[in-house]
Chains A and B, each alone.
Chain A
């Protein structure tokens, strides 16, 4: 019998109880949240379980919510079960003043560069990552450009008149 969202939900509740929250199914894709200390436990369970078999990390990224005090940064894992062709989305939230998250590189090799990219743009500190340094931006960059407090435009230039760009 093919795997369904209901089965996944039941298996997760059976294992983690009410530690998982915000279970939703936007556009049919199961999405849930866990405390950040549990991220590796949940990923390991999803990987090892003979029924679930989420063994492909398709994407790992972060989102910045400046208004959510104490849980500003969300780290999002997209997982894929290749056998049953089912995808799920798993989030953990962290405080922006201490953005430490356990690395998933031990479980997925693909997480190596994706975590470096997430560090590069959002400044998430992946604890235990073998080589956590900038991957896409210039090494001299001294901020994390996709955090919302930094304007998109290059702040070093002086020749563009703010009035002309509707932000005077």
Chain B
């Protein structure tokens, strides 16, 4: 009997035995390759992001699915989930953050070393979501600067992966001087961070 739904109808042949990232633009000759330092460092950083999960509710469960074998965030070089803010590059805030939890999120952010990125996963972390009430922080961007917002309540693992890909995009294209610039300092200043 035929199955009512068929998957993987389109054959996708492997491009090669090993999947490699694309080479940055540069000049190549016999025995050498020259490009800018920005691009090399960006390439290295974006393909080995260490996420720090800050999961408080159902979005955290979706993140667990994302890390699991089915969706496998390891395909994007981010399978090493660090539980120490000192070693991590990406703070992933997933779930409702109560006002009492706000200082904790900020503390964790402060403990991370530069360069650091922040992803707000789900409606609650992004805007307070359905919890428009006296006890809930109306979006974590009130206490820390956020790079990528992932919409959804909760977002599916595909959406979280999409968010990570956008973070990778930001990481790969970031100028090495950005974190020393006036603009960035003013941004941190607006959150009361030195």
Show the binding face of A for B, using Cβ within 8 Å.
136-138, 141, 145, 150, 152-154, 156-157, 159-160
Contacts and interface: CB of A to CB of B under 8 A. Distances in A.
A138 B99 contact: yes
Nearest to B138: A157
B132 A160 contact: yes
Contacts of B99: 137-138
A117 B93 CA distance: 29
> Which label, helix, strand, loop or mixed, suits the secondary structure of the B interface?
loop
Nearest to B135: A137
A159 B134 contact: no
- 3 nearest A-B residue pairs (beta carbon): A145-B134, A153-B132, A157-B138
Contacts, number: 28
A159 B141 CA distance: 13
B100 interface: yes
B66 interface: no
Nearest to A153: B132
Contacts of B128: 154, 157
B127 A154 contact: no
Interface of B: 99-100, 127-128, 132-136, 138
B171 to A, nearest CB: 28
A137 B134 CA distance: 9
Contacts of A150: 134
Nearest to A144: B134
B100 A138 contact: yes
Contacts of B135: 136-137, 145
B136 A154 contact: yes
Nearest to B99: A138
Nearest to B101: A138
A137 B100 CA distance: 7
28 contacts: A136-B135, A137-B99, A137-B100, A137-B134, A137-B135, A138-B99, A138-B100, A141-B134, A145-B134, A145-B135, A150-B134, A152-B132, A152-B133, A152-B134, A153-B132, A153-B133, A154-B128, A154-B132, A154-B133, A154-B134, A154-B136, A154-B138, A156-B138, A157-B128, A157-B132, A157-B138, A159-B127, A160-B132
A157 B99 CA distance: 13
Contacts of A157: 128, 132, 138
A152 B99 CA distance: 15
A138 B134 CA distance: 10
Nearest to A150: B134
B141 to A, nearest CB: 11
A129 B70 CA distance: 55
